A and B are shown apart, each in its own frame.
Chain A
Amino acid sequence: MSKDIKITKGMDIKLVGAAEQNTSKAALSNVYAINLSDFHGITPKMLVKEGGEVKVGEALFYNKNKEDMLFVSPVSGELVEIERGARRRILKLKILADKEQESLANVILDVEKASKDDVKAYLLKTGCWPFIIQRPYSIIADPDDNPKAIFISGYATAPLVADLDYVLQGKEKELQAAITALGKLTPGKVHVSVGKSSKSPLAGLTGIELHKVSGPHPAGLVGTHINKIDPINKGEVVWTVSPQDLVIIGEALLTGKYNPQRIIALVGSSVKKPQYYTTKIGTEIATFLYASGVNEENFRVINGDVLTGSKSRQDGYLGHYNNTVTCIPEGDDYEFFGWNKPVFNKISATRALTFSWLQPNKKYDLDTNTNGEHRAFVVTGMYEEVFPMDIFPLQLLKACMIQDLDEMEQLGLYEVAPEDFALTEFVCVSKQPHQKIIREGLDLLQKEIG
């Protein structure tokens, strides 16, 4: 049975540099890296020492608070460096790849017959567990929880992100295996959302509740779907998985091997030939970036999309959860009278001498300039225009800023993730860091309430 979700509040940010539907194989990377900042709130305990050898799928470290949650290597080779920061906190693990890749082979699980605990143990052991994210708090799911539902969004609406219909082509078998396994982990439903007119392979799967979504961004964000389908109440937990991670989970279930291969989109106006690449988690971005060519020197590499991605570098590495690498020009220059002259080349949610409303389909070449300075919250009513959830965004942000736990709870902080506030952050005239405020609010709530 399918239910339609129609989103009206939102905004599509149309940018130059969308990927052409053409996939190349990225060059093999010499060094792979795991960035610990991808795993929010995890304290790693190393299992391999510097200089140790690992196979693909062999555990590198585990979660200090959940010892059976393993984080595995995407490549076989030698752990050459454990990069540490302040107070010896581990920042990054670097693995020098072997010429011959060898995978750790696990005993294959019969998904149909497996029990809930079998599935859980298997996902934890194979290193697939960290792909499962929970709400509240937007962190890696706690295996001891019993989620009321699992949500998967097969509809990508964020600017320039990889087209999920395209990258999931031919992966029906893996997706089905993963869905069947995940279905055992929840007493509730597995909700899958796809675009209204899409031919997503996700739509044909069994054991799911299918939803068809239409409307502007954030219509594709899983948080929007949760809010519209089955909102989270205090004390409840839902899990979310992104569809490309389902493929990795499915393959691990079918073959017994962890294969962190993924089709990613290299996009953005700084890329000469934006297109798709087959590559692996943790690979050097340079292995495909220069194959497409770059337009300028001073640009920013973003692991993910322009709204929610993390800042990386040309010699950075593909993140654990990313299927998009975006390159846009840096905007570190002054603009003469930028605050009062008419603006034709930037996107705006208003019509205050900004003219993006005249050409709704024009594609823009935006840079990283903030277009103004950080100010106190002044304008009201603007965030609501791009925020489709039944939540007061401004009031929730303020509750987080003053660290009022009761208010944060009551206004629905349990239901949101930082990514849900990316659009409000984009349109904010006061240039407040919304996603950071929400992240800190979630961390505080988790610390104080658990």
Chain B
Amino acid sequence: MSDKRLTFKKRLHIIKHHYRGKKMAPAFNALHTFLYTPDETTHSGSHVRAADDLKRTMNTVITALIPVLLFSMFNAGYQHYAAIDAANGVARELSVFGNFLTWDNFWIGIIKVLPLVIVSYGVGLLVEFIFAVIKGHEVEEGYLVTGMLVPLIVPIDTPLWMLAVAVIFGVIIGKEVFGGTGMNILNPALTIRAFLFFAYPTWMSGDKVWVYEAVDRAGGPDAISGETILGYLAQNNASEYSYSLSDMFFGFIPGSVGETSTFLILLGGLFLIFSKIASWRIMLSAVIGALVMGLMFNGIVDQGWIGETSKFYGLMSFPFWQHLIVGGLAFGIVYMATDPVTGSQTNRGKWFYGFFIGFMSVMIRVFNPAYPEGVFLAILLMNVFAPTIDHYVIRGNVKRRLKRMKNANVLPTDSEGEKKKLQVETA
């Protein structure tokens, strides 16, 4: 076995040198480095390096997403059958091993969720490879996470061609035109989501798209509901859904493919914080931001400033902390707001950046009449403002340095050692 592996390793090494400098080199190297960490050694500076590379970083995020993906595959089926039961007036009691972790449910996950994952990765990586070959740079790992996020933030019935078009748009316009991984301004996964939302709004919102087959069956005798909790709330129909708090927290509710299980997202978030891959500052401040905004809306309702007839009443009166366990807020905070490239890059900036993501998410949720979900718009908005936040944080450091310079009074310039007053240039 080990002998065979040695020769395989050697053979790849020879091919790598054969392709060096040629057009296809990045494509081969991408596959090669996937199998083997390269034989590169340090040349300048530090002679030893830490064990982590960008692949490991990305892989850690994917690891944190796997439980969410698996859950979503079961939930796809569960929501489908639950909606059929509800339409037929059959009472349904959730039992995790009885009617949730079943093969029937998982099968719907396989035929509906898995293709989304495959298309997302296939199309996205193809675009990345093509760009790497054209521009002659290595294939960078950014898409490994994006490709996993995309299928988890779309409605289950999203047609595959639509997803493919959106992925091509998102990777090219959202990332490659800026120079590739590490250079983009907007989160590529959310760019893809936003493209879908604005290009195909009927497929991305409404009360049909969140449960498998709800669209196909609409209008027929076997019609089923595909509405989310936020959808009910936005129409002031809070009484029409019967999900318990534990359903919401554990994720047995309709919604975008992977956004429902706050519990697993929380576990993933804790894992990312523990492994020091994602910023706890962003996560914590975003949660605080969402709670603050939610509290403010609750306060408005408590003060009686809006009545039950107001179209905002349903969402405004929704208990403030429950915003965290419905919709995509938790998923967005843990996996998307923490993207280091598009988020704030300074530690202090991260507090502001995160806070406003939470704050704006709930605000957009309440005030957006067409689509009662705000987290992806809030993150995209804050992506745009992140450099501005960082700018002011960094100016603070620069100002401190300038102030220190003003207070210094010795400027050693002449060889006689005479003290000279420092002339501070003000920019």
**Residues of chain A at the chain B interface (Cβ within 8 Å):** 13, 15, 116, 144-148, 159, 187-188, 231, 233-237, 300, 302, 306-309, 311, 326, 328, 330-340, 343, 346-354, 356, 366-382, 384, 390-392, 394-395, 406, 410-412, 418, 421-423, 425-431, 433-436
C-alpha gap A331/B46 in the complex (Å): 14
Q: Is B422 on the interface with A (CB-CB < 8 A)?
A: yes
Residues of B within 8 A of A352 (CB): 52, 56-57, 59-60, 275-277
A370 is contacted by which of B40, B140, B274, B275 (Cβ under 8 Å)?
B40
The reply to whether B56 and A429 form a contact with Cβ atoms under 8 Å apart is yes
Closest residue of chain B to A335 (Cβ to Cβ) is B37
Chain A min CB distance to B55 (Å):
4
- Report whether A116 and B398 are in contact in the complex, using a CB–CB cutoff of 8 Å: no
Query: In the bound complex, what is the Cα–Cα distance between A307 and B140 (angstroms)?
Result: 26
Question: Which A residues are in CB contact (< 8 Å) with B276?
Answer: 349-352, 382
Instruction: Give the Cβ gap from A114 to chain B, nearest Cβ, in Å.
Output: 15
Q: Is B90 interfacial (CB 8 A cutoff)?
A: no
Provide the residues of chain B in CB contact with A340, threshold 8 Å: 55-56, 59
Given the complex of chains A and B, what is the CA–CA distance between A308 and B415 in angstroms? 33
**Chain B residues whose C-beta falls within 8 Å of the C-beta of A381 in the assembled complex:** 279, 281, 340, 345, 347, 350
Contact A348 B417 (CB under 8 A): no
Other 9 A-B pairs with CB < 8 A, given A187-B410, A332-B39? A231-B401, A336-B9, A337-B37, A338-B36, A352-B60, A352-B277, A379-B57, A381-B279, A428-B49
* Residue in A330, A370, A395 whose beta carbon sits within 8 Å of that of B394 in the complex: A395
CB distance from A108 to the nearest CB of B (A): 25
For B63, the chain A residues whose CB sits under 8 A away are 353
- Which of A187, A353, A373 is the one whose CB lies under 8 Å from B38? A373
Residues of A within 8 A of B57 (CB): 350, 352, 378-379, 429
Where chain A touches its partner, the secondary structure class is loop
* Contact present for A372 and B394 (CB under 8 Å): no
Q: Identify which of residues 319-375 in chain B touch chain A, using a CB-to-CB cut-off of 8 Å.
A: 340-341, 343-347, 350
Q: Taking beta carbons and an 8 Å cutoff, which residues of B are in contact with A?
A: 5, 9, 12-13, 33-57, 59-60, 63, 138, 140-142, 179-183, 274-277, 279, 281, 340-341, 343-347, 350, 390, 394, 397-398, 400-402, 404-405, 408, 410-415, 417, 419, 422, 427
B414:A146 contact, CB within 8 angstroms: yes
Q: Inside 8 A of A431's CB, which chain B residues have their CB?
A: 49, 53
> Is the pair B37, A338 in contact by a Cβ cutoff of 8 Å?
yes
Contact A376 B340 (CB under 8 A): no
A426–B140 touching, CB < 8 Å: no
A376-B182, A378-B340, A394-B345 given; A354·B141 CB < 8 A: no
Q: Establish whether residues B46 and A306, one from each chain, have CB atoms under 8 Å apart when the complex forms.
A: yes
Identity of the chain B residue whose Cβ is nearest the Cβ of A331 in the assembled complex: B41
Task: Name B45's contact: one of A159, A334, A337, A418 (CB within 8 Å).
Answer: A418
> When the two chains form their complex, are residues B140 and A375 in contact, meaning their CB atoms are under 8 A apart?
yes
Q: What are 21 sample pairs from A and B whose C-beta atoms fall under 8 A apart?
A: A188-B410, A235-B413, A332-B40, A334-B38, A339-B37, A340-B56, A343-B51, A349-B50, A352-B52, A368-B47, A368-B48, A370-B41, A370-B53, A373-B54, A375-B182, A380-B279, A391-B397, A406-B427, A410-B398, A426-B50, A436-B45
Partner of A328, one of B47, B411, B415, B422: B47
| B50 A390 Cβ-Cβ under 8 A | no
Q: How far is the CA of A333 from the CA of B41 in the complex (A)?
A: 9
What residues of A have a CB within 8 angstroms of the CB of B402 in the complex? 410
Task: Give chain A residues whose Cβ lies under 8 Å from the Cβ of B44.
Answer: 433, 435-436
Question: Once the chains are docked, how many angstroms separate the CA of A412 from the CA of B401?
Answer: 8
A411-B49 contact in complex given A339-B55, A369-B40, C-beta closer than 8 Å? no
